[in-house]
Amino acid sequence: MKLLNLNITFEQYNGLQELNEQDTMLCQLSEQALSTSYSPYSKFRVGTAIRLQSGETVLGSNQENLAYPSGLCAERVALFTIGANYPNAVIESMAITAQTDNFEILKPVTSCGGCLQVMAEFERKQGLPIEVLFYCLNGEILKVQSVQSLLPFSFVEDRLAARV
């Protein structure tokens, strides 16, 4: 038996004023995406902005449904939009933020496991890391250089890929 240790490195910022211009803009766009959230049940709005290598930005917001499993998180809305409309696009960076009228969010909200797995798949598909920023409105921002840092044991099964 071996006892192994796993560490991740991430950056912590106190606010937008500490970010570079590109990251600040991406966080602000994720905040803008909150306005299209359909969250009448949880009242918990999530917005995502994804910057493509082409310079284009794709937004996504959470979309709830009365049949709860039928809803979709903001990250997957944006990522699946890219997959459907820009199948060969390279994702450089994504910012995620959340807001609710029910209480004050004091720390960055991170992605759920399902979203992390989808993010890992996009990173694997493109063969390049995707930078991720978790942005707390008017507060702290956490930044990782790769989805691999967030989900080091993502599901990978190469034998499932079609062989030509």
In a domain, 157, yes or no: no
Predicted confidence band at 153 (pLDDT cuts at 50, 70, 90)? Answer: confident
Domain count, the chain: 1
Phi then psi for residue 10, to 5 deg, are: -145, 160
Q: Work out the mean pLDDT of the chain and round it to a whole number.
A: 95
Is the residue at 2 inside a domain?
no
Torsion of CA 65, 69, 71, 77, to 10 degrees: -170
pLDDT digits (tens, 9 = 90+) for 94-133: 999 999 999 999 999 999 999 999 999 999 999 999 999 9
Q: Look at residue 156 and tell me if it is in a domain.
A: no
Residue 158 scores a pLDDT above 80: no
Residues with a catalytic annotation lie at: 75
CA atoms within 13 A on the CB side of 58: 24
Q: Is the distance from CB of 124 to CB of 93 less than 8 angstroms?
A: no
Q: What is the CATH number of the domain that holds 114?
A: 3.40.140.10
**Residue 69 belongs to what domain range?**
11-151
